[in-house]
Structure 1
């Protein structure tokens, strides 16, 4: 009976109408940044914004590796040489060749869509916090080793400068310790390869019929004899690449037109059914959730690796209060930065751990937590002749509630309360504010 059901599912999925008008809810962390439409709570009487502490993901981007390096590209070339491509296979080959032309030399870079996203976020930041930039702005700008974070910083600053009267002073620096912590922690790298999440992901792939999805896609692209020589791992890798191409074109609409094509000529989405896209998305989102988000344990290593960034936020906020040196602290990083940091902060839509696979898209929506250009801001407020400060936390420019931290004036928290709350959390991890974060990342373990 199980075999019959599997065969029936595969038959249904391979003959179902291919995706044309199905929703783009499958994009997950590749979702374009949604401009907020929230009306902000009034600022408490007498208070004004005085400092902004910000970290953002790079903008919408190109692929991170050349098209011709992808396994799917190489497999299609091999199949074409063997006369093993179907009509849809030939269509896919042409789409990939077009994508290669679109990408050109821009691999690893942000796209025009990404520049617009970041400029708009900066414009809104200025409009909402004009008092912060009323005097000559002094900006401290952190980036990572990846060129797309430098490009993101430049795009953001270009939007911010439109509102600033005087040319701001800008100090730009590289900070992989605080912003690419996931890349410098050996124990986390081991967790990422094989952790307690593995059995859950294996179960999910079965319940989402990923093997059948892989076979269905292959049956549209390749002739039967060619498919027979491919292993399940190869089929899975092929599908993964095509799904990646499907999600990336949303970020490249301007570049596609500039290359002389229409968006319809790179419609990789049309190669899948709507159901297949949702099956693949479920697995993709769950992979992000367990490896970058709250996962099975909100205090697990995949969240605690963000400790260096939290300490940096606290220290730079205190530095402003003590010296007023920088008008704003701006950082540009990656999805792997935003998702664990949002969970570490205890933001209510970003910190719910679960082993229940059916809960992931209900409790943690990748498109809401870490879309392209996602960001977290602490806005610090001050009242004249009052020594205390208030702080508002924003996730993707929306007012955020911090689980476990009380306030009588949500979404505004007392800075002293917020700081004490996070220092207590750090102490619970055995971390001191003055610890060497490079050493911490080398030693951190489950």
Structure 2
């Protein structure tokens, strides 16, 4: 089918609207790059010094988890190309997807250069702010999940930390999916992901935002009218989702894009969308994260309770240090699905705020602020000469208030009170205070 010049001009203008409007990067959601927090001065109570660190972090900025050539968007473009059903914009998108496939060859599932830089920076600041913890030949544990990007993240973190250490560090490494990939180990949670009541809420949001119409409108830019009619609504949705995923991932790949011989313009997938379309698609992503990884409509729901093994581990390891154990830092590297429910369970800042009004989700909870790439939660334990302990809690390196618990100094909580508070919380959600946490996960409903 021949496309008339006015239509081509319209498509060109639509495709370049996002660039002309200079859309910001708010739409990136969980693929938002980690940013160093602004320097702030926090007064440490007189007589106290940092002695112990409990850390859990998301992996750094990463590549795609599968090659672009295996995605539905590629398959549909290839099919349309064979049928001579690609528009001018479709040809441009095909070229861009092939370029991304070249960038990603051999790199899928890995963290990117950007991710290494993020984690090295966090490690350096952790040391600079708590150097006393790492004196006297420190013992450090490093725990990861089965995914290679968490091992690479641990290596990058240590790359930033170890050159700063003056004494030999004893590092113990291991894998613990029970405390770090709990969301994969609970049959009840897996069923919640597929069949939970949150699905209807998100569907209502999609209807409110006219997502079906958006999918058709976007899809039609790349294929002839006759070919577009053959693409089902479900396949249009898959096409746009894949396409939007490409638009969000390239922000993590700046160095790799250059190494492959391309410029950022060559991979500007976002330029095919308008700013409003990017914002709308992002709202859906945020809503799904909010209900399946965050507080959702119930702060005591299964999507939060699954983080109990990690909270129990934080309590146990902190208490072990107080009891005289020699490990001074526990470093864990995990995923967004780990950090978000953990922050909600801890009640940090607004990460535990529930909501059901679909228009307000992005105001109550923003994935870009809770779980950007390299997101982290840090417990820093301080001790004075009389054996008193204070705990400082940070979310993404910023002091975080614990909902329901009063600090004894600004940003500092008495450790015995923190321990009591969270033990009671574990008890209230039915988590065992000792025993097999894996069994607990399997009984969740």
How far apart in 2 are the matches of 1:17 and 1:141? 46
Question: What is the aligned partner in structure 1 of residue 422 from structure 2?
Answer: 422
> Is residue 431 of structure 1 aligned with residue 431 of structure 2?
yes
| Post-superposition offset of 1:206 | 1.1
Q: Is the 8 A contact 2:408 2:414 kept in 1?
A: no
The aligned residue for residue 8 of structure 1 is none
Aligned counterpart, 1:393 = 393
Q: Deviation digits for residues 8-33 of structure 1, max 9, x if unmatched?
A: xxx99x95852111111101111000
Task: Tell me what 1:19 maps to.
Answer: 18
2: CA distance between counterparts of 1:320 and 1:107?
38
CA drift at 1:173: 0.2
In the alignment, the residues of structure 2 paired with residue 239 and residue 153 of structure 1 have an alpha-carbon distance, to the nearest angstrom, of 33
Q: CA deviation at 1:287?
A: 0.4
Match of 1:96 in 2: 97
Give the match for residue 303 of structure 1: 304
Partner of 2:49, secondary structure, is strand
Shift of 1:168: 1.2
Q: Which residue number in structure 2 is paired with residue 363 of structure 1?
A: 364
**Distance in 2 of aligned mates of 1:40 and 1:347:** 20
Specify the alignment match of 1:113 in structure 2: 114
Quote how far apart the aligned CAs of 1:40 are.
3.6
Check the 8 A contact 2:16/2:272 in 1, yes or no: no
Q: Distance in 2 between the 1:17 and 1:278 partners?
A: 16
Q: TM-score, length-normalised on structure 2?
A: 0.96
Kindly report which structure 2 residues correspond to 1:149-164, keeping only aligned pairs within 5 A, or say none. Answer: 149-164=150-165
Give the match for residue 145 of structure 2: 144
Contact kept, 8 Å, 1:40 with 1:399, in 2: the verdict is no
Give the match for residue 250 of structure 2.
249
> Which secondary structure state, in structure 2, belongs to the residue aligned with residue 28 of structure 1?
helix
Secondary structure class of the residue paired with 2:80: helix
Name the residue aligned to 2:231: 230
- Whether the 8 Å contact between 2:432 and 2:440 is mirrored in structure 1 is no
Specify the SS of the correspondent of 2:171.
Answer: strand
Matches of residues 320-399 of structure 1 in structure 2 within 5 Å?
320-384=321-385, 386-399=386-399
In 1, Cα distance between equivalents of 2:156 and 2:86: 42
1:163-312 to structure 2, matched below 5 A, reads 163-312=164-313
Q: Which moved more, 1:71-80 or 1:425-434?
A: 425-434
Q: Secondary structure at the match of 2:18?
A: coil
CA distance in 2, matches of 1:313, 1:376: 11
**RMSD of aligned Cα (Å):** 1.4
SS in 2 for 1:270: helix
Give the secondary structure class of the aligned counterpart of 2:17. Answer: coil
| TM alignment of 1:404-415, pairs within 5 A | 404-415=404-415
Distance 2:310 2:111 in 1: 23
Equivalents in 2 of 1:430, 1:108: separation in Å?
Answer: 35
Q: Cα offset for 1:334? A: 0.1
Structure 2 distance, partners of 1:317, 1:234, is 49
- Residue in structure 1 matched with residue 124 of structure 2 by the alignment: 123
Flag structure 1 segments of 5+ consecutive residues without an equivalent. Answer: 1-10
Secondary structure of the corresponding residue to residue 193 of structure 1: helix
The equivalent of 2:5 in structure 1 is none
**Displacement after TM superposition at 1:320 (Å):** 1.1
CA contact (8 A) 2:17 2:273 kept: yes
The Cα shift of 1:429 comes to 1.4
Is contact 1:123-1:162 (8 Å) kept?
Answer: no
CA contact (8 A) 2:112 2:256 kept: yes
- Describe the superposition over 1:195-242 as per-residue Cα deviations: whole angstroms up to 9, x where unpaired: 111111011101112111111111110111111111100000000000
CA distance in 2, matches of 1:170, 1:408: 34
TM-score for the superposition, normalised by structure 1: 0.95
SS in 2 for 1:190: helix
Contact 1:338 1:370 in 2 (8 A): yes
- CA distance in 1 between counterparts of 2:173 and 2:293 reads 27
Greater alpha carbon shift after TM alignment, 328-337 vs 159-168: 159-168
Q: Following the alignment from structure 1 to structure 2, what is the Cα–Cα distance between the partners of residues 344 and 433?
A: 15
- The 8 Å contact of residues 392 and 411 in structure 1, kept in 2 or not, is answered as yes
**SS of residue in 2 equivalent to 1:52:** strand
Distance 1:16 1:85, change over 3 A: closer
Q: Give me the whole-angstrom Cα distance separating, in 1, the residues matched to 2:68 and 2:14.
A: 29
Q: CA deviation at 1:410?
A: 2.2
Q: Deviations over 1:26-75 (max 9, x none)?
A: 01111000110041421000100000000000000000111111110111
Paired position in structure 2 for 1:82: 83
Paired residue for 2:60? 59
